[in-house]
Chain A
Amino acid sequence: MNLALKPEHQAFADEVRDFARKHLSPATREKTFSGKHYDKDDHVVWQQALGRQGWLAYTWPKKYGGPGWDVTRRFLFENVLAEEGAPRIIPFGVKMVGPVIYTFGSDEQKERFLPGIRSSEVQWCQGYSEPGAGSDLASLRTRAVREGDHYIVNGQKTWTSFAHWADWIFCLVRTDPDTKPQEGISFLLIDMKTPGVTVRPIIMLDGAHHVNDVFFDNVKVPVANRIGKEGEGWTCAKFLLANERLGIAEVPASKRGVRSLREIARAEPQDGHTLADDPAFAARIADIDLQVQALEMSELRALSTMALGGAPGPEVSTLKIRGSEIQQRIAELAMEAVGEYAQPYQPGLLFQDTNETPVGPDHAPPAAPRYFNMRKTSIYGGSNEIQKNIVSKMVLGL
Chain B
Amino acid sequence: MDLSLSDEQKQLQDAAERFVRDKYAFENRRKIAATERGWLPENWAQMAELGWLGMSFKEEDGGYGGGPIETMIVMEQFGKGLVLEPFLPTVVLGGGMIAAAGSKAQKEALLAPMIEGKKQFAFAWLERQSRYNLADVSLKATKDGNGWSLSGHKGVVYNAASADNIIVLARTAGSAREEKGLTLFLVDGKAKGLTRRDYPTQDALRASELTFDKVSVGADAVLGKVDGAFPVVEEAVDRAIVALCAEATGCMDAINAATLEYIKTRKQFGVPIGKFQVLQHRMVDCFTNAQEARSMTLMASLKIDDKDPVVRRKAASGAKVQIGKSGRFCGQSAVQMHGGMGVTDELSVSHYFKRLTMIDLMFGNQQHHLTRYSNLAMAA
Contact = CB atoms under 8 A, between A and B. Distances in A.
A372 B131 contact: no
Interface in A175-227: 202-205, 207, 211
B336 A378 contact: yes
Interface stretch (B234-242, B285-293, B311-319, B338-346): B338-346
A139 B367 contact: no
A83 interface: no
B158 to A, nearest CB: 9
SS class, residues of chain B in contact with chain A: mixed
Contacts of A343: 156, 201-203, 207, 358, 361-362
A54 interface: no
B151 interface: no
Interface string A327-354: 0000000011001111111100000000
A322 interface: no
B279 A385 contact: yes
Contacts of B345: 203-205, 207
A371 B269 CA distance: 30
A378 B130 CA distance: 34
B129 A135 contact: no
B346 A270 contact: no
B10 to A, nearest CB: 34
Contacts of A272: 136, 176-177
A211 to B, nearest CB: 8
Give the contact-size bracket for chain B. Answer: 35 or more
A369 B358 CA distance: 11
Interface in A226-278: 268-272, 275
Nearest to A268: B131
A132 interface: yes
B354 A205 contact: yes
B211 to A, nearest CB: 12
Interface in B193-243: 197, 199-203, 207, 209
A136 interface: yes
Contacts of B276: 385
A126 interface: no
A393 B367 CA distance: 38
A113 interface: no
A373 interface: yes
Contacts of B361: 335-336, 339-340, 342-343
17 contacts: A139-B270, A202-B344, A202-B346, A203-B344, A205-B353, A270-B133, A272-B177, A280-B367, A336-B367, A340-B155, A340-B362, A343-B203, A344-B207, A346-B199, A372-B202, A372-B350, A375-B342
Interface of B: 126, 128-133, 136, 155-156, 176-177, 197, 199-203, 207, 209, 267-270, 273, 276, 278-279, 332, 335-336, 339-340, 342-346, 350-351, 353-354, 357-358, 361-362, 365, 367, 371
7 interchain residue pairs of minimum CB distance: A205-B350, A136-B268, A269-B129, A203-B345, A343-B201, A136-B269, A376-B343
